Amino acid sequence: MPNIKSAKKRVKVSAKKEEMNVLVNSTMKNAIKKTEKEIKAGNKEEASKKLNTAIKAIDKAKSKGLVHKNKAAREKSRLTKLKNEMK
């Protein structure tokens, strides 16, 4: 454990930031999985809603620096392409 007051604060702040990062990252991954599931099921309307949610989650993760901008673009493009190829 740290002894200096500022080091104690850094431990608290780091833990809080890590918690938020995990939350944003898992939200993004879950949104992507749910979108893929709806696309596989063939539900066009539901897939569109889930795609919008996934894109929002991906953009949030990108803006927080958790995901590289190229990965974010690739994921959004891949999901959109899958949805557009639905029959």
Residue 40: exposure state from Cβ atoms within 10 A (0-12, 13-18, ≥19)? exposed
| Structural domain containing residue 29 | 5-84
* Averaged pLDDT, 20-41: 97
Give the pLDDT confidence score for residue 69 in this predicted structure: 97
CATH number at residue 13: 1.20.58.110
42-85 confidence digits (pLDDT tens): 999 999 999 999 999 999 999 999 999 999 999 999 999 999 99
**Radius of gyration from C-alpha coordinates of the chain:** 17
Q: In total, how many domains does the chain have?
A: 1
